[in-house]
Amino acid sequence: MSCCTNTYDLGCIYYCNQLKFAEATFSGSVVGVFSNTNHAVSQNITVENGEPFMFDMSYLNENMDYTLRMYVNGINISVEIDNIEYDCFTVKTEIIGVSVDFTPYPDTANATVVIIADGNASYTNALLIGKNIQLVFTDNVIRIPSDYSFNTNTGTITFISPRDIGEVIQITFL
């Protein structure tokens, strides 16, 4: 995972609300990864051109600081705010706040398969058959698409090198 080049502070938000910011300049699927030193949580959203990015904050722990990175097809994207490109966003969840109406976009549900590596480079899981991979983590490190190949017909992911025994592989898919 690369370091942030330019970070935008989104401030504090009540953890049961949705986070809305900026405007998408495209339509499609985006994976948001909220991370801190303890864990990472990914959330798939569908964005519409000209509409704000919206994430459901109830998936996150309350009273914590997070860094948000957004990915399209496994590539970290930047978002323009006030004519400046930002590739990372910080936000703090608060326990006290006022709840507002939550209106998620369609297709916000994603699923994750967790595999414990056994020293091989290839892993097959029936839940991945016919699916589209959104993100791949190994021990909480995001892997770029050139780190692996995926066969949707068999549900097999093959890494460019064998994974260490006991390494946690998380695959988020639609």
Q: Are 55 and 19 in contact (CB under 8 A)?
A: yes
Burial of 135 (0-12, 13-18, 19+ CB in 10 A): buried
Q: Are 23 and 83 in contact (CB under 8 A)?
A: no
Confidence bin at 110 (pLDDT 50/70/90): low
Q: What is the dihedral of CA 117, 118, 123, 127, to 10 degrees?
A: -60
Q: What pLDDT score was predicted for residue 97?
A: 56
| 3-state secondary structure labels for all residues of 154-171 | CCEEEECCCCCCCCEEEE
d(Cα 160, Cα 174) in Å, to the nearest integer?
A: 23
What domains can you pick out in the chain, each with its CATH number? Answer: 7-94 (2.60.40), 111-173 (no CATH)
Q: What is the mean pLDDT of the chain?
A: 85
Is pTM beyond 0.75 here? Answer: no
